[in-house]
Amino acid sequence: MSFPEDLELALTEFSRDNGLQRDAAIERILRDRLLHEGLMTSKQKGIPPEKLNASNDD
């Protein structure tokens, strides 16, 4: 799969900055966007709101 030059350059930079191979970078970007849009749900369990405090505020 190839993209326009501006996207390829940004993808190369993203891959390098995050230590990812190209396919893994595309997967991360796509997954993050789909989660943001509510089209997927995260498999990760976060800290329940009632257990949030200054010591686990990262």
Whether 30 has a pLDDT exceeding 90, the answer reads yes
HEC profile of 22-43: HHHHHHHHHHHHHHHCCCCCCC
Domain ranges in the chain are: 5-39
Instruction: Read off the pLDDT of each residue in 49-58 and give the average, rounded to a whole number.
Output: 71
pLDDT digits (tens, 9 = 90+) for 2-29: 999 999 999 999 999 999 999 999 999 9
pLDDT at 41: 83
State pTM to two decimals. Answer: 0.69
- In this prediction, residue 3 carries a pLDDT of 96
Q: For residues 14 and 25, is the Cβ–Cβ distance under 8 A?
A: yes
